[in-house]
């Protein structure tokens, strides 16, 4: 099976499941975020094992961060992230393994901020009264459209490298086509829904599309630094869970704070 066909098959299986759990929201969405977050964090810590992350401390911080989003709000998300530090410190003290404290703590906290923080703000986006479900759907579908169109256009007509030092396969042609697709999907998802004005919907779509690309490039930079091609192999042609979440981990927070700015 070719990588492209594999990507389509995995997306066809997972997308309805994800959309269904987003529709239900609440603890169902928390469960989805928890499972995907732990898998993504496991992949990140696996790639960075040479830096000796305090894995159990990171897992504890991720759970606390997601619980903060589920039970509290933005303040409790920050509290969950900060809880990573004492949890990791306790494990560091009782460990008999020789560890590098600076690199270990930095990598552990980095993973929780990146993965846990990104997923938590997506959960908070879903919790926006009345329109949260629609806003998360618009974000998810815009990111999916951006990623898919950028991939197809980049493979067919891409000639000018977007970030050759980080991700040589990405092109300006793919970036522009993906951005237009992401803006278009977000706009039509929110058009005449009494959620945002036409101008605000276009702004939100542009922010989501740009953030999705930055999230993808950010993960590419991390993987290049850690000498890894993919974060894992769990999702076949899609790579690992972190490879599928990378764009959303930036697009979700970007959408959330853009909506705060527009409100």
Q: Please, what's the largest Cα pairwise distance for the chain?
A: 60
Residue that wins the pLDDT comparison between 195 and 37: 37
Residue 198 has pLDDT above 70, yes or no: yes
- CB neighbour list of residue 227: distance below 8 Å, 6 or more residues apart: none
Q: pLDDT value at position 2?
A: 57
Q: pLDDT value at position 183?
A: 95
Contact 183, 209 (CB under 8 A): yes
Residue 150 has pLDDT above 80, yes or no: yes
Q: Domain of 78? A: 3-262
pLDDT band at 122 (very low <50, low <70, confident <90, very high): very high
Looking at every residue in the chain, the average pLDDT score rounds to: 90
In angstroms, the CA 186 to CA 60 distance is 34
Q: Residue range 3-15: average pLDDT?
A: 70
Q: pLDDT value at position 191?
A: 80
Q: Which residues of 125-160 are buried (b: 16+ CB within 10 A; e: fewer)?
A: bbbbeebbbebbbbbbbbbbbbbbbbbbbbeeebee
Record the pTM: 0.92
pLDDT per residue over 216-255, tens digit each?
999 999 999 998 887 867 765 567 899 889 999 999 999 9
Q: pLDDT value at position 5?
A: 64
Considering only CA atoms, give the Rg of the chain.
Answer: 18
Number of structural domains in the chain = 1
Residue 144 has pLDDT above 70, yes or no: yes
Q: Residue range 36-60: average pLDDT?
A: 95
Residue that wins the pLDDT comparison between 13 and 103: 103
Q: Residue range 175-202: average pLDDT?
A: 90
Residue that wins the pLDDT comparison between 41 and 11: 41
pLDDT band at 159 (very low <50, low <70, confident <90, very high): confident
Please tell me the least confidently modeled range out of 30-34, 116-120, 128-132, 255-259. Answer: 128-132
Token pair listed for 211: 């953030």
- E runs forming strands in the chain: 161-163, 167-171
pLDDT band at 76 (very low <50, low <70, confident <90, very high): very high
Q: pLDDT value at position 12?
A: 75
Residue 208 has pLDDT above 90, yes or no: yes
pLDDT per residue over 88-114, tens digit each?
999 988 877 667 888 999 999 999 999
């Amino acid at each position: 099976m070719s990588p492209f066909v594999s990507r389509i098959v995995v997306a066809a299986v997972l997308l309805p499941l994800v959309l269904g759990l987003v529709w239900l929201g609440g603890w169902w969405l928390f469960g989805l975020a928890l499972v995907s977050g732990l898998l993504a964090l496991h992949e990140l810590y696996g790639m960075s094992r040479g830096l000796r992350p305090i894995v159990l401390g990171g897992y504890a911080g991720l759970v606390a961060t997601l619980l903060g989003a589920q039970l509290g709000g933005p303040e409790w998300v920050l509290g969950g992230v900060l809880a990573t530090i004492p949890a990791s410190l306790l494990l560091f003290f009782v460990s008999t393994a020789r560890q590098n404290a600076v690199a270990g703590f930095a990598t552990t906290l980095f993973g929780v901020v990146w993965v846990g923080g990104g997923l938590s703000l997506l959960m908070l986006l879903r919790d926006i009264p009345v329109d949260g479900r629609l806003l998360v759907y618009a974000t998810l579908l815009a990111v999916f459209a951006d990623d898919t169109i950028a991939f197809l256009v980049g493979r067919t007509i891409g000639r000018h490298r977007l970030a050759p030092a980080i991700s040589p396969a990405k092109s300006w042609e793919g970036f522009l086509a993906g951005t237009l697709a992401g803006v278009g999907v977000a706009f039509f998802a929110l058009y005449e829904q009494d959620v945002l004005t036409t101008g605000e919907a276009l702004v939100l779509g542009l922010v989501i599309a740009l953030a999705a690309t930055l999230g993808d490039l950010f993960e590419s930079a991390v993987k290049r630094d850690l000498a890894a091609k993919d974060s894992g192999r769990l999702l076949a042609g899609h790579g690992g869970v972190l490879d599928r979440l990378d764009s959303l981990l930036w697009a979700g927070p970007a959408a959330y704070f853009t909506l705060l700015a527009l409100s």
